[in-house]
Amino acid sequence: MERWSGRVALVTGASAGIGAGLVKALVKHGMKVVGCARNVDKIQKLADELKDEPGTVKAVRCDVSKEEDVLAMFQMIRADPDLGGVDVCINNAGLAHNEPLLTGSTPLWREMVDVNILGVCVCTREAFKSMQKRKVDDGHIIFLNSLSGHRVMPLRAMHFYSATKFAVTGLCEGLRKELREMKSGIRVTSICPRLVKTEFFTRMYKDNEKSNAGFSQSLQPLQTEDVVSTIVFALQSPEHMEILDLLVKPTSEAI
């Protein structure tokens, strides 16, 4: 990770779970981390806790489902003399609602599309523009995808969410092809974990604690650190090597 020391990483959804774990790990490797989320207070608290580490944390309030928020964030990054732009973009923000295909709420479907697909696209586009403008050819764009972007679980609460993650799988491959057409050295990696022990399912089943408890107990979850270490592994891979898809699951389970 030495080559990333002093470089700038953007982590979306940085207030909790995998995002917060990434902020901690990258700062300890000397990176300047811009952590964004709707709840900026949690990121600021994290920044205060990490003030003695080699890197730095800039906490930014940003709702990735709102393009104006994302554009304002990248403008702030450009204007900050200590940052100037983004070298690594980690699209971590995502959400799921318990809204099946046959009975779901259109507004909540739309929110999943806005965050999981359009928010990812806007952040990725602006990160690429930042790299291109500064002639950064060794940047890295990472997507926190899911095994649900490769197969559909027999769980109706997950079906629309799974569709958004299948879209992310397609976006990753499309982005990779566009970059190769440009002869760019920017790398693209999709990280696809199974269930991770975070607030994700608690939020999805917020109105049905019994379903949340039953689902969580039926599967062995990965830990946040498992996914964070996988992302660090992808980042520190040699420049001549590109890790495309990493499917991450407990050893005891089939895909």
DSSP 8-state assignment for residue 81: T
Which residue has 């080559």 as its token pair? 3
- Is 205 one of the annotated active-site residues of the chain? no
The residue among 51, 129, 94 whose CA lies nearest residue 227 is 94
SS3 1: coil
Radius of gyration of the chain (CA): 18
SS3 6: coil
The per-residue DSSP string of 142-188 comes to: EEE--GGGTS--S-GGGHHHHHHHHHHHHHHHHHHHHHHHTT---EE
Spell out the alpha helix ranges (H) of 2-66: 17-28, 40-49
User: The sheet that has 140-144: what strands, in order across it?
Assistant: 56-61, 32-37, 8-12, 88-91, 140-144, 187-193, 245-248
35, 46 Cβ separation under 8 angstroms: yes
How many helices and strands (H and E) does the chain possess?
A: 9, 7
> Catalytic: which of 161, 200, 201, 205?
161
SS3 140: strand
Catalytic residues: 161
